[in-house]
Every structure is written in structure tokens, then in C-alpha cells.
Amino acid sequence: MNEEELKRVSENYDAFFFHPNTYRCARLAVGATLQLVDSVMSGKGRNGMALVRPPGHHSQRNAANGFCLFNNVAIAAEYAKLKYGLQRILIVDWDVHHGQGTQYIFEEDPSVLYFSWHRYEHQEFWPSLKESDYDAVGLGKGKGFNINLPWNKVGMGNSDYLAAFFHVLLPVAFEFDPELAIVSSGYDSGIGDPEGQMNATPEVFAHLTHFLMQLANGKLCVILEGGYHLKSLAESVCMTVKTLLGDPVPQITGEMAPCLSAVESIQNVRAAHKPYWKWLTYEGNFSFLKQM
């Protein structure tokens, strides 16, 4: 097909443009992701990062979407289950957009725990789906294994991201006890990115990576998703890779209390998932949430 024909085909999809090299590039992205899974699962490498394009987390089983042709992370999870017999895989999506494609693929699958935080603004921000809200917990046997943490305002920063990890993701993840952790690693959730409009600094991604390295005996695959501010993207990727290599995490300075909007979202998610995760029923150190 020529470029004009590809342009017409692209009109059938939401936020996706086909180029003559799209298919080849997308196959290379999937291949690199699977190669990383093989390296980690075989013990050749304890962890790693796949710097791939195009991204994948919006892609669905039968439709390209949102710059994504193949869902690299979802394919990697299915591949790991089939080739290595894994029964518990954690996917953490810290891209600023909801990975609705990944959610749709695994929403009935209790072998995959999917966690996504994303700019939502009460369904005003793309992909503007009701099922991106906190009460979309999964379907059938997959109830409780789909965790959405919607950010309902821009400007979320380091303290908000860390609070989400401490009070939602990590308690559930340790209870789930994954055999492999995969990150849909979008850095449009970082400071300066025009898509996300968030304030999280590159240093926080080092800390998030460090926390995830404590799971699955350190088996962690980080797969690049979005990121559209070159300086912020480069520095955030660098922080992530340095942490994977074992460098000490940098100090985070500034305000460390989450904002009220973040606290509200965290409370909503915890309430929605308490029926499924016993660690979320314990108040303990989380009591400050009720006081804000």
C-alpha cells in the first residue's frame, strides 16, 4: 500500500497512523520485548529495559489504538505464561494515559495483576473511558486483578506517586507475590511532558523501580511506552536504568505529602479493592488518609 492508502486505513482507528515501516518497527518492538523476557527468565540477566518504539499499551486484541500497533507488554505476559509456565505476572503501567488495551486483554484473567495510574480528570482526558475509573476492578474471575488509579487533576508530583505505591500498589503486589514484574514504562507522566502536565521528577522513577525490584525475586522487565519531552524522557530513563544496574537511588527533596485530589483517588481505589485484598483492610500506617 502507498502512503495515501495507508492514510485512509488509519482513519478507521483512534489516534493511530500507518506508515510503510510501521509493521516492521512494531515487530521489532515485540521481538526486543520478548528477548528481554527470555534474558530475565533464563537468568542471563536479572532485569532489564527494552527501549522500543512504537509503544503498545493502548493496542487491543484486534485493533491498533493510540500510537500502538501491537501490545508489547501484553504479548510479553502471555509469552511468559506459555513458555515458562508462570501463573502470576504483575504489570505496572505508570504512563500518564490509561493502558485500556492491556486492561481489556487481561480483565478476566486472575493470573495477571494490572495496575495503572493515569490522568483522568473525571473522564475528560483521552481515552475518556468510564472503564478507566477506579471502580473498574476486572470481570468474572479477574475481579480484583485490575487496579485503576485515576488522577483527576494535573500537576501530580513525587509525593503523589509514592503515596500510590505505598498505599495501593505495593500492599497488593506483595500479597499477589508475582513471579515476574513488567512495567509499561511511559515517561509522559514526568515533569515537563506536554501530554501529561505532571510534576514528577526523574528521581522518583528510580525509587519506583527500586520498589518493584523487591518483587518476583528481582525479575523485572521495563518496557518503554510514552514520553514526549526529550530532556525529561532521557533523564527519567537514565534514572530507571541506573537503578536496574544497582546504583543507589537519589534523594528526593521537596513536599512529601500527597495532594488532596491524590488522597481522594487513593481512598477510592482502596475501598473498591478491599473485598479482594486482605492487606488493604489494614488501616495501620494508612490512617493519615482519613485525616486529609
- Just list the catalytic residues: 58
Q: Extract the C-alpha cell encoding 168.
A: 495501593
Residue 77: CB partners within 8 Å, gap ≥ 6?
89, 91, 106, 112, 180, 182
Q: How far is CA 83 from CA 162, 255, 264, in A?
A: 34, 45, 41
Distance CA 94, CA 177 (A): 19
> Are 183 and 151 contacting, i.e. CB atoms less than 8 angstroms apart?
no
- Give the DSSP letter string of 91-103: EEE-SSS--HHHH
| Helix (H), strand (E) at residue 226 | none
Query: Torsion-angle region of residue 123: left (phi > 0), alpha (psi -120 to 50) or beta?
Result: left
Residue 199 and residue 213: Cα distance in Å, rounded? 24
SS3 content of the chain, % helix, strand, coil (to 5): 45, 15, 40
Q: What is the largest CA-CA distance in the chain?
A: 61
CA atoms within 13 A on the CB side of 142: 18
Q: Side by side, which strands form the sheet with 89-93?
A: 47-50, 220-224, 180-185, 89-93, 112-119, 146-151
Give the C-alpha separation, 228 to 117, whole Å: 18
Helix (H, G, I), strand (E, B) or coil at 185: strand
Integer Cα distance of 11 and 265 in angstroms: 35
